[in-house]
C-alpha cells in the first residue's frame, strides 16, 4: 500500500465531535484510501451524498465484508448469517420477520415503561444526592432496561447483558474474549427462546418465535436476531443518552429552554442524533462486488469501503453550519440510523427513548450541571463505540 495512505480509524479524541480530519477531507479529498490496523487498504467515504450511495447501491455488500475485514472489525462484524451480515434477497426475508414483531405499536406500548424506568433512575440519583454519575446511574441502566423489557429478559440478568455487550465491542480484548462473550450470549438467548416457545409472554422474543416457527433456519436465525438487537442497541443507545446529556450540560441555556418548551424535544433529539459522533470506526464496512464509480473515484471489485456516518452528518452541503448545535434545525436526512436496507431497525425505539430521557432529565433536574471540568471527563477509547465512561453531575 502507498506509504502516504493515512491510518484509520483516526487518532483517539474526546468529546462528541467527529475526527477533525473529516472536515478537511470533505473539502479536499472526500474519498481516499486509508490503512486499517491490520495493514489492509480501504476506501473512506466522507460526504453525505456518497455515503448514501454506498448504503443503497447493491454493489456494496455487507455479506462479503465479514470475511474481508474480520481482523479489523471483529466486534462490529456480526456472525455469518446474522441480519446485519446479509444482502438482499436473504436480508429482505429475515428483515420481514423482524418487521412483523418490532412494530410501531410495540414501541408505543413501551413508552409508559420507558418513562417509568427513567423517572425511577432519576429519583434514585436524587435520593442518593450529588454528585451523581449519569452514565452508570442513568444512561447504561436505562438503555439496558428498555432492551431487556422489549425482549423479555429478567431484570436479574441485566448486568450480564451489559458485560457481554461491552466485551463484544471492546478493542482491547483478544478475539478469544469476543468469541467467548458471543458464545455465552448465544447460549443464553437460545435458552430464552426455548423457554418462550414453551411458555409465550408479551415480549419481542415470544413474537419473534411465533413469526419464525416453520422457517427452515428458524432456531439459529432467531438467536442471531436477538443477539443483533441487543449488541446493536445497548451500547449505542447508552452512548447517545450520555452524549446528549453532555451536550445539555455544556451548552448554556439549553436545559432551561427545553424545560420551558418541551414541544421542541422531538426535533432537538434529531439534532442530538445528527451532532453526536458515536462510532470510532466510522461505520460498518462493505465490500465492492463489481467495479463502480462513486464521486468520480473508481472502486474495484473486492475493495473494502467505509462510509463515515459521523463525517456525513457534518456535511455543510446538507446541514449549513454543521458544527453548530441547533435544536430547531430539523436535520432531515441525517444518517445516525444509517440508510437503505440496513437502516437501524430500532430507530423508532431509539427516538422514543431519547426524547423521554431528555424530558425526564430537564424536568426532574432543572439545575443540573457538570460536577467536573469538561476536559477532565473520561471517554471510552478501547471500544468500537465512542462514549463517556462517566458523567458526574450535581444540582
| Closest alpha carbon to 48 in 65, 31, 71, 66 | 31
Strands 292-294 and 31-35: unpaired
- Which H/E stretch holds residue 392? strand 392-394
| Rounded CA separation 42/305 (Å) | 5
For residue 297, the model assigns a pLDDT of: 97
Cis peptide before 131 (omega within 30 of 0): yes
| Rounded CA separation 358/360 (Å) | 5
> 436479574: which residue's cell?
156
Range list of H helices, the chain:
21-28, 48-56, 65-69, 90-101, 104-128, 140-151, 158-169, 175-198, 204-212, 218-250, 254-260, 265-275, 309-312, 347-364
- Cα-Cα-Cα-Cα dihedral of 343, 348, 353, 354, to 10°? 60
**CA distances (Å), origin 132, targets 138, 360, 374, 393:** 9, 16, 15, 5
For residue 179, the model assigns a pLDDT of: 80
For 21-394, CATH number out of 3.40.718.10, 3.20.20.70, 1.10.630.10, 1.10.565.10 equals 1.10.630.10
Provide the grid cell at 270. 434529531
Domain boundaries, the chain: 21-394
In this predicted model, what pLDDT tens digit does every residue of 120-147 receive, in sequence order?
Answer: 999 999 999 999 999 999 999 999 999 9
For residue 216, the model assigns a pLDDT of: 47
- The ranges of the chain with pLDDT < 70 are 1-3, 12, 67-81, 171-176, 213-219, 280, 382
Distance of CA 45 to the CA centre of its chain: 19
Distance of CA 137 to the CA centre of its chain: 20
In this predicted model, what pLDDT tens digit does every residue of 67-96 receive, in sequence order?
Answer: 665 555 554 566 666 777 788 888 887 788
Amino acid at each position: 500500500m502507498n506509504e502516504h495512505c493515512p491510518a484509520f480509524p483516526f487518532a483517539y479524541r474526546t468529546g462528541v465531535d467527529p475526527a477533525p480530519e473529516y472536515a478537511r477531507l470533505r473539502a479536499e479529498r472526500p474519498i481516499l484510501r486509508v490503512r486499517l490496523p491490520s495493514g489492509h487498504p480501504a476506501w473512506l467515504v466522507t460526504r453525505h451524498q456518497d455515503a448514501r450511495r454506498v448504503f443503497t447501491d447493491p454493489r456494496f455488500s455487507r455479506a462479503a465484508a465479514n470475511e474481508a475485514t474480520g481482523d479489523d472489525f471483529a466486534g462490529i462484524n456480526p456472525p455469518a448469517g446474522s441480519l446485519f451480515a446479509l444482502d438482499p434477497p436473504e436480508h429482505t426475508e429475515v428483515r420481514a420477520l423482524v418487521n412483523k414483531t418490532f412494530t410501531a405499536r410495540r414501541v408505543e406500548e413501551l413508552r409508559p415503561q420507558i418513562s417509568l424506568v427513567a423517572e425511577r433512575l432519576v429519583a434514585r440519583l436524587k435520593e442518593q444526592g450529588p454528585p451523581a454519575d449519569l452514565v452508570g446511574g442513568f444512561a447504561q441502566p436505562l438503555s439496558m432496561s428498555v432492551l431487556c423489557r422489549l425482549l423479555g429478559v429478567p431484570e436479574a440478568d441485566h448486568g450480564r447483558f451489559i458485560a457481554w455487550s461491552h466485551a463484544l465491542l471492546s478493542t482491547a480484548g483478544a478475539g478469544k474474549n469476543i468469541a467467548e462473550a458471543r458464545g455465552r450470549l448465544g447460549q443464553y438467548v437460545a435458552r430464552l427462546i426455548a423457554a418462550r416457545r414453551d411458555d409465550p409472554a408479551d415480549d419481542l422474543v415470544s413474537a419473534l418465535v411465533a413469526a419464525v416457527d416453520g422457517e427452515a433456519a428458524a432456531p439459529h436465525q432467531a438467536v442471531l436476531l436477538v443477539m443483533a438487537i441487543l449488541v446493536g442497541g445497548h451500547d449505542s443507545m447508552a452512548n447517545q443518552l450520555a452524549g446528549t446529556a453532555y451536550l445539555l450540560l455544556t451548552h448554556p441555556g439549553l436545559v432551561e429552554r427545553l424545560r420551558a418548551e418541551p414541544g421542541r424535544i422531538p426535533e432537538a433529539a434529531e439534532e442530538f442524533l445528527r451532532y453526536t459522533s458515536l462510532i470510532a470506526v466510522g461505520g460498518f464496512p462493505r465490500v465492492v462486488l463489481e467495479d463502480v464509480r462513486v464521486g468520480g473515484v473508481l472502486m474495484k471489485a473486492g475493495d473494502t469501503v467505509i462510509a463515515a456516518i459521523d463525517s456525513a452528518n457534518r456535511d455543510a452541503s446538507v446541514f449549513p453550519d454543521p458544527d453548530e448545535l441547533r435544536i430547531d434545525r430539523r436535520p432531515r436526512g441525517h444518517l445516525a440510523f444509517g440508510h437503505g436496507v440496513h437502516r437501524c431497525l430500532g430507530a423508532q425505539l431509539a427516538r422514543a427513548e431519547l426524547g423521554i430521557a431528555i424530558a425526564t432529565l430537564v424536568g426532574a433536574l432543572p439545575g443540573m450541571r457538570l460536577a467536573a471540568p469538561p476536559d477532565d471527563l473520561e471517554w471510552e477509547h478501547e471500544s468500537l463505540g465512542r462514549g463517556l465512561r462517566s458523567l458526574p453531575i450535581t444540582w
